[in-house]
Chains A and B, each alone.
Chain A
């Protein structure tokens, strides 16, 4: 039951929000990438990536009763968005098929921007929590002064 563990919880959240930001940045950067990977001699468009997050109890079962508040957060993995690629008519594009259609990544800039905003706000909230924990610790150091 130390104050330090609540700082650890906030810290894990900061890491996760930063990862979400990185993934969104990668999605935006690759919004037009038609050659992300080569499958059977065919270039496949970039697929949108998503972060799967999971609540992470810091505790083991032994001291579970005492530590049930220590829920940090971790990224369980990064998965592909399996939404099919959108087909855009562009016969002059080097990656267009015989009908003149190009497979474009399933990235939507608006959705990525919303993800980025959400990650930013969550990051800010967690920084505030971290500052509060720090302030309380500093105050505790004043006991008896």
Chain B
């Protein structure tokens, strides 16, 4: 009853934002590590997954290590940026890009949390009967 669709969607958004923050943290932590490749988290994939989850279709595993292709719900997929070399030692982390993305991600996260708080407040208003 309480889990309205908007709260569910906001939860996915928070999960995505958390994963993105984690990717940015790892990229910045490894800014001087030779051969480290920049990681990114894409929202398109999350959307694709949500759609894939809606129309469930089974994957056949021939080995237990295979992943089911509708991946566990809400897990934002991380991908490595394989092409592109920013540094001479095989490292592909661009600090400016990471810092910009981090600022953007923080604002996004705060906005989502604000929206979530206000949906809870609406629920509360309904519970109090508008008083």
Contacts and interface: CB of A to CB of B under 8 A. Distances in A.
A6 B21 contact: yes
Interface in B1-30: 14-15, 17-19, 21-26, 28-30
Contact of A13 (B28, B109, B110, B120): B28
The secondary structure that dominates the B interface is: helix
Given A6-B21, A132-B106, A69 B28 contact: no
B36 A136 contact: no
Given A122-B32, A125-B28, A3 B113 contact: no
A139 B110 contact: yes
B29 A69 contact: no
A126 B22 contact: no
Nearest to A133: B21
B47 interface: no
Q: Which 7 A-B residue pairs are closest in the complex by CB-CB distance? A: A13-B29, A71-B26, A6-B22, A6-B25, A9-B25, A69-B22, A73-B29
Interface of A: 1-3, 5-7, 9-10, 12-13, 16, 20, 53-55, 65-66, 68-73, 118, 121-122, 125-126, 128-130, 132-133, 135-136, 139-140, 142-145
